[in-house]
Amino acid sequence: MSANLLKAKPKIINIGLAQFADTIRQSGAEAIHLDWTPPAQGDLTLNKILLELQDDYDQIEQANSQAIEKVLAAQPVWIDVGPALEMIPGFSENTVLHAGPPISWDQMCGPMKGGVIGGLIYEGRARNKEEALALAGSGRIEFAPNHHFGAVGPMSGIITASMPVIVVENQENGNRAYSNFNSENNRKALSFGAFDQDIQDILNWQRDVMAPMLGAAIRKIGGLDLKGIMARALQMGDECHNRHIASTSLLLKMLLPTLARLDLPGSRLAEFGDYLMQNDWFFLNFSMAACKAAMDAAHGFPHSTLVTAMARNGAQAGIRVSGLGEQWFTAPAPPVRGIMFPPFGEEDANPDMGDSTITETFGLGAFAMAAAPALVQLIGGKVADAIGFTKSMRQITMVENGSFSIPNLDFAGTPTGIDLRAVVETGIHPKINTGIAHRRPGYGIAGAGITEIPLSCFQEALKEFAKHHSARS
């Protein structure tokens, strides 16, 4: 054998950097390139942590299976609509909630400041941009992340006291989650930082016409199972983050008999119909609240490495982990690859923003990209790329969620439950679908695309997890 080995032309298997294989090939030898990176990108500290956590493998696995069971068993039901001040425990008249990890007023990005300005004008606390800026910087407003109040909001995520919110109860676990209503309309939206009179008109109409009507309907119905709508929508080209055409249409179909029986003037229902005609994202905020209700139930298992929140505030991206309490692990918010809506160009794009990544945290959005190949076209991709997105997310998640099956994967479940360890070990970033806000306040929607949560959030969280874990064990 060894004689043959010496005589034969060498076949070289190259592991890691592709250019080594190229060099070997240039020298005339055969080389097979294996696409491999060392665990944790070869970082010795992180490798040591991953190895040490192996010693407590069973304990962590047990905690993770308890946590993920909460995720899979979640029964998010839309039960009510009402003003944030009344619906969200701990909300005060001075509270202004925002997306992502904590951030001070002066550090906020342009579109988030735009959202705050719009919110304060809407509340009657300021008459114009200047008054709103003065009030926001006065110290009288209590800014806090939505996530600290069981809430989520897309993009800037601004929720103020009299804004109507969607109330979702996880009827398996008893916890509640909240979201504002979607305000996307002709490419302008408070959530994207616009705050002009058009936006005020929409917000006022939502408060005075839409919210009372939807609240009356949902209380009459006695609750609507959101998981079922999301599961059906996944069969219909939605991924429950950036596409909501199916879910929005299904929601309307399910509400209509009750809405009609409220016997309101026809014009009220007609206005709601008009609104939905130009808003195919209406269900997004329902989807987000449902995901939040599921993930909060899985939060707080001391030995669990399950990621329970990923969110961005337009300046920073951050994550929370089941076993790491209220702490955020942050990194600069990434840019978004995608398409810019004319007349805007890449220079207009704000970095990534919003709580909507709660959908990916729950295994939907980009994790379910195979269900919505239309979205991968935003970055010039094809169906195979969309399927590849979902398959790659299997490598960093704990289970497939049988409640959410993807036709294109022969009805396999969505990859669900991001394992902190797996992200650090493989270096695979969780992918996310998202909108792009204009970087200056007052402009609104500038594009849509795909991005990733930075790896360092997970690396820092793992270091902290190792500390907590060894202290507790």
Give Cα 127 distance to the centre of its chain. Answer: 33
Residue closer to its own copies (CB basis): 37 or 267: 267
| Strand locations in 85-209 (E) | 95-98, 142-145, 151-152, 164-170, 176-180
**245 is a contact residue toward its own copies (CB under 8 A):** yes
Exactly one of 23, 134, 262, 472 binds its own copies (CB under 8 A); that residue is 262
Q: Which stretch binds its own copies (CB under 8 A): 186-194, 406-414, 440-448, 462-470?
A: 406-414
Mark 200-226 as b/e (b = at least 16 C-beta within 10 Å): eebbeebbebbbbbbbebbeeeeebeb
Task: Tell whether residue 235 is a contact of its own copies (CB under 8 A).
Answer: yes
Closest approach of its own copies to the CB of residue 282, in Å = 10
Task: Kindly state whether residue 263 participates in binding its own copies, applying the rule CB under 8 A.
Answer: yes
* Buried b or exposed e, range 33-58, using 16+ CB within 10 angstroms: beeeeeebeeeeebbebbeebeebee
Question: CA 100 from chain center: how many Å?
Answer: 10
Q: How far apart are CA 339 and CA 357, in angstroms?
A: 19
| Burial track 383-393 (b if 16+ CB lie within 10 A, e otherwise) | eeebbebbebb
Say whether residue 277 binds its own copies (CB under 8 A).
yes
Which uninterrupted H or E stretch holds 221? helix 211-221
Tell me which of 204, 383, 395, 472 binds its own copies, using CB under 8 A.
383
Token pair listed for 320: 């929370």
CB of 283 to its own copies, least distance (A): 12
One symbol per residue from 205 to 234: x for binding its own copies (CB under 8 A), - otherwise; what is it?
Answer: ---------------------------x--
Shortest separation between residue 401's beta carbon and its own copies, angstroms: 18
364 binds its own copies (CB under 8 A): no
User: What mask, x for binding its own copies by CB under 8 A, covers residues 410 to 439?
Assistant: xx----------------------------
Residue nearer to its own copies on the CB measure, 18 or 383: 383
Give the position of tokens 């969309």.
386
CB 74 within 8 A of CB 119: no
Name the segment binding its own copies (CB under 8 A); options: 32-40, 78-86, 246-254, 445-453.
246-254
CB of 402 to its own copies, least distance (A): 16
Minimum distance from residue 350 beta carbon to its own copies (Å): 29
Smallest gap from Cβ 267 to its own copies, in A, equals 7
DSSP tally for the chain: helices H, then strands E = 18, 18
**Closer residue to its own copies (CB): 301 or 367:** 367
Asked if 443 contacts 431 with a C-beta cutoff of 8 angstroms, the reply is: no
CA distance 311 to 333: 9
Distance CA 247, CA 224 (A): 13
Q: Considering the rule CB under 8 A, would residue 253 count as an interface residue with its own copies? A: yes
Q: Please identify, using beta-carbon distances, which residue of 347 and 410 lies nearer to its own copies.
A: 410
Taking CB under 8 A as the binding criterion, the range among 97-105, 218-226, 268-276, 307-315 that sits at the site for its own copies is 268-276
Residue closest to 59 by CA, chosen among 303, 392, 366, 404: 303
Euclidean distance between CA atoms 359 and 377, whole angstroms: 20
78-137: which residues touch its own copies (CB under 8 A)?
A: none
Stretch of residues binding its own copies (CB under 8 A), selected from 98-106, 155-163, 238-246, 359-367: 238-246
Task: Mark the segment that binds its own copies (CB under 8 A) among 113-121, 175-183, 408-416, 424-432.
Answer: 408-416
Count of positions on this chain that bind its own copies (CB under 8 A): 44
| Residues binding its own copies (CB under 8 A) | 232, 235-238, 245-246, 248-250, 252-254, 256-274, 276-277, 373-374, 377, 382-383, 407-411
